Amino acid sequence: MAVPKKIKILFLIGTLNGGGAERILVKVVNEICKKSNLDITVETVFDEGIYQEKIDKRIHQKTIFSKISKTSFGKLKKRLILYLLCLMPGGWLYHLFIRNKYDIEVAFIEGIASKIISGADASQRKYAWVHTNPILHPYSTKAYVTLPHERRCYQKFDGIFCVSGDVRVAFEEKYGIKAAVLYNPIDRDEIIKKSKSPTEDIKYTKGIRMVTVGRLVEQKGYARLIKALVSLKAEGYDFSLQIFGDGILKNDLMALVRANHMEGNIFFEGFTDNPYKYIKNADLFVCSSITEGFSTAVAEAVILGIPVLTTDCTGMREIFGDSGCGMIVDNSEIGLINGLRRIMNSPEILTDMKKGSLRRSKDFSLRKSIHQILSAIQVE
Residue 296, pLDDT > 90, answer no
For residues 196 and 181, membership in a common domain is answered with no
How much is the pLDDT for 150? 96
User: Residue 2 domain-assigned?
Assistant: no
For residues 129 and 212, membership in a common domain is answered with no
The answer to whether the beta carbons of residues 166 and 318 sit under 8 Å apart is yes
How much is the pLDDT for 194? 93
Q: In the Cβ-directed half-sphere of 262, how many Cα atoms lie within 13 Å?
A: 28
For residues 182 and 231, membership in a common domain is answered with no
Q: Confidence band (pLDDT; 50, 70, 90) for 347?
A: confident
Instruction: Count how many domains the chain has.
Output: 2
CA-CA distance, 241 to 264, in Å (whole number)? 9
For residues 92 and 160, membership in a common domain is answered with yes
Residue 51, pLDDT > 90, answer no
For residues 157 and 26, membership in a common domain is answered with yes
Structural domain for 82, as ranges:
7-186+365-376
For residues 26 and 134, membership in a common domain is answered with yes
Phi, psi of 367 (to 5 degrees): -60, -45
Q: What is the pLDDT of residues 319-339, one digit of tens each?
A: 888 888 899 999 999 999 999
For residues 199 and 162, membership in a common domain is answered with no
User: Residue 164 domain-assigned?
Assistant: yes
For residues 307 and 195, membership in a common domain is answered with yes
Q: What is the pLDDT of residues 80-119, one digit of tens each?
A: 999 999 999 999 999 999 989 999 999 999 999 999 999 9
Torsional class of 193: left (φ above 0), alpha (ψ -120 to 50), beta (otherwise): alpha
Residue 377, pLDDT > 80, answer yes
Q: Which of 14-18, 202-206, 233-237 has the highest mean pLDDT?
A: 233-237
User: Residue 47 domain-assigned?
Assistant: yes
User: Residue 1 domain-assigned?
Assistant: no
Q: What is the pLDDT of residues 116-167, one digit of tens each?
A: 999 999 888 999 999 988 998 888 999 999 999 999 999 999 999 999 888 9
For residues 211 and 308, membership in a common domain is answered with yes
Across the range 171-194, mean pLDDT stands at 92
User: Residue 270 domain-assigned?
Assistant: yes
For residues 131 and 103, membership in a common domain is answered with yes
For residues 126 and 246, membership in a common domain is answered with no
User: Residue 50 domain-assigned?
Assistant: yes
Q: Confidence band (pLDDT; 50, 70, 90) for 43?
A: very high
Q: Assign residue 311 the CATH number of its domain.
A: 3.40.50.2000
Across the range 174-186, mean pLDDT stands at 92
Q: How many CB atoms lie within 10 A of CB 15?
A: 20
Radius of gyration of the chain (CA): 21
User: Residue 235 domain-assigned?
Assistant: yes
Q: Confidence band (pLDDT; 50, 70, 90) for 67?
A: confident
How much is the pLDDT for 70? 81
For residues 320 and 258, membership in a common domain is answered with yes
Q: What is the pLDDT of residues 206-228, one digit of tens each?
A: 789 999 999 899 999 999 999 99
User: Residue 171 domain-assigned?
Assistant: yes
CA-CA distance, 378 to 380, in Å (whole number)? 7
Residue 19, pLDDT > 80, answer no
